[in-house]
Structure 1
Amino acid sequence: MGMQGNGSFEATRWTLVQRVKEANKEEAREALNVLCAMYWRPLYAFARGYGRSMEDAEDVVQGFLAKGIEKALFSAADQEKGKMRTFLLTAFKRYLRDEYVKESALKRGDGKVDTMDVAAEEARWADTDAADPTVSFDKRWAIIVVESAKEQLEKKYENEGKLELFEALSASLMGELDEGYQEVADRLGISLSAVKVGVHRLRKRYGEMLRAEIIGTIGEGEDPDQELRYLIGILSD
C-alpha cells in the first residue's frame, strides 16, 4: 500500500520510522520521503527564525534532509527516547553547527575554526527571547498536527458518505459555524437537532484524531494530553 506525502497518511510517524529502519529498500525510501516532506516546514521556520534569508533557509533545510536521507537520519530516531520533534530539532541544530564550522573554516582560508566564533553562534542559538526560533518550529509542527488530523477526519466522513455534512460543519472545529444551525439544517434537509448532534460528534472525533496524531509523535510513556495542550497553547499565542 502506498503512502501519501502531503501531510496526511495512514501510518503514524513512528510506524514510518520503523519502515525506514526495517522495511525493504523501496518502502523505506517511500517512508523517508513522507517524513521529509512532512517536516520541511518546521525546519524552514526555524532556519528563518535565526535570520537566514528565504533562499539560504531553503538550502540549509534541503541540505539537512538530503544528508538525512544519505545518512539514514530517521534510523536513529527511537520512540523510547522521547518526542520526534525534539529529536528532529536537536539533529537540525547539530547540522547547523557543523555547517557553521565549515563556513567559518572556509572564511578563514586556513581550514581552522575560531572556537570563540562557534561558541558565540551556539550562545545565539540558546537565546530564548520572544523571537525564539524554537517557538516558530513548534508552531509549524502544531499546524502540521492540526492539518493532518483534519484531513484524516475529512477522509473518514468521505468514506462514510458524509462529506457534505463534514463540509457544512467543519467550521465548528475552529469556533462557531459561519451560518446559523437552522440555516445549515434547512440547506442539508435535516433537523436542527441533527445539526447539533453532528457538531458535537464532529468535535469529539476531531479531538480523537488530534490525540492519535500526538501519540504518533511522542515517546513511550509520555502524556499525549500534555503535548496536545502545549501545541494548542502555542498556536493560541
Structure 2
Amino acid sequence: MTDSANVHTGGQVFPATRWSLVANAREDGDLDASAALEELCRTYWPPLYAYLRRSGYSTHDAEDYTQGFLLSLIQDESLVRADPQRGRLRSFLLGGLKRYVGRVLRDGNRLKRGGGVERFSLDAAEAEQRYEAMLVDELTPEHLYDRMWVSTLVSAVIKRLQDEMEAGGKEKTFLALQPYLLSGATETGGYTKVATELGISEGAVKVAVHRLRGRYRELLLKHITDTLSNSDSLNDEVEYLLGLAGR
C-alpha cells in the first residue's frame, strides 16, 4: 500500500480516498489531510447508509447516524484507533459505525438533524435509490454493505476513467464506449454504430474498448489494493469483491 496521498498509475495521479487518507488525517492541523478525509467520507458513506437501512433504521435515522459517524471521524479522536494493520478499510468503517450507533443509543444522545456544523452534505435521496435498487430479500445487512461497497468502488473508477478521457479531449469517445465497458458482449451491430458515430473503423472501436477495459481493471485493482493493510490478502479481497460485482 502507498503511504502517499495519491496513487500514481500510468503517469496519472489517482486520488487516494482510502487507508492512506485515514493515516494522513491523523496529523493535527493538516488541512490537506482534513480535506482528503472529507473526500473519503463523501465516497464511502452510501454503503454505511445502506447497512443501517437494511438493519431496520428509517431513512431519517440512517442519514442521521451515518452523518454523525462520519463527523466523528473528522472531529474527534476516532482516527487514533484507526490502525491500517488491522486489515480492510471497509471492515474498519463498518465496525466503527456499529460502535458509534451503539454508543449513541446507549447514551440517548442522538445527533439531531441540522444540529451542529455540517462539514459536508449527504445526498440521502440518491443513496436511498441505490439502496432500493440493490435490495434483495435474502441479503443480510453485512452482505448488502459489501455489495454497495463494490458499487461505490466501480462508480469511483468509472468517474476516474471519464476524467482521464475528458482531460485528453476524448469525452465523446468515452460516452460512446462506456456502455461496453462492463459488458462481456455487445448487441448486434453495436460496434458498427459506434464506429459510425466516432468516424473510425469497427476494428479501431474494438481496440479502444479493449484498452478502456484494461485501464478500468488497472484502476479498480489499485483502488482495492489501497483499502488493504498489506498485499497478503489482495487476491482473496479481489476475488470476493469482484465476485459480488458479477465479474
Which TM-score applies when normalising by structure 1? 0.78
In 1, Cα distance between equivalents of 2:28 and 2:201:
50
Indicate the structure with greater helix content. Answer: 1
For 2:227, the equivalent position in structure 1 comes to: 217
| Aligned residue runs from structure 1 range 68-217, under 5 A | 68-103=73-108, 130-175=138-183, 176-177=185-186, 180-217=190-227
Secondary structure of the residue that 1:196 maps to in structure 2? helix
Two-structure CA RMSD over aligned residues (Å): 2.7
Q: Is the 8 A contact 2:17 2:43 kept in 1?
A: no
Unaligned stretches of 5+ residues in structure 1: 4-8, 105-128
In 2, Cα distance between equivalents of 1:102 and 1:23:
28
Greater mean alpha carbon deviation, residues 216-225 or residues 30-39: 216-225
Note the C-alpha offset of 1:12.
4.4
Note the C-alpha offset of 1:224.
2.9
Secondary structure of the residue that 2:159 maps to in structure 1? helix
Q: Is the 8 A contact 1:211 1:225 kept in 2?
A: no
In 1, Cα distance between equivalents of 2:150 and 2:80:
23
Matched, 1:43 2:48: yes
Secondary structure of the residue that 1:219 maps to in structure 2? coil
For 1:30, the equivalent position in structure 2 comes to: 35
Note the C-alpha offset of 1:73.
2.5
In 2, Cα distance between equivalents of 1:85 and 1:165:
33
For 2:65, the equivalent position in structure 1 comes to: 60
Q: Is the 8 A contact 1:13 1:35 kept in 2?
A: yes
Note the C-alpha offset of 1:191.
1.2
Note the C-alpha offset of 1:83.
0.6
For 1:122, the equivalent position in structure 2 comes to: none
In 2, Cα distance between equivalents of 1:197 and 1:97:
52
Unaligned stretches of 5+ residues in structure 2: 1-5, 7-13, 110-136
Write the deviation string for residues 118-168 of structure 1: whole angstroms up to 9, x where unpaired: xxxxxxxxxxx9341011211111111000111111122222222222211
The one-letter code matched in structure 1 to 2:177 is L
Note the C-alpha offset of 1:23.
6.6
Greater mean alpha carbon deviation, residues 70-79 or residues 131-140: 70-79
In 2, Cα distance between equivalents of 1:153 and 1:225:
23
Secondary structure of the residue that 1:171 maps to in structure 2? helix
Note the C-alpha offset of 1:72.
3.5
Write the deviation string for residues 5-42 of structure 1: whole angstroms up to 9, x where unpaired: xxxx6224123223302374322321221122122211
For 1:234, the equivalent position in structure 2 comes to: 244
In 2, Cα distance between equivalents of 1:67 and 1:200:
43
Write the deviation string for residues 74-119 of structure 1: whole angstroms up to 9, x where unpaired: 3432322211001111111112222232249xxxxxxxxxxxxxxx
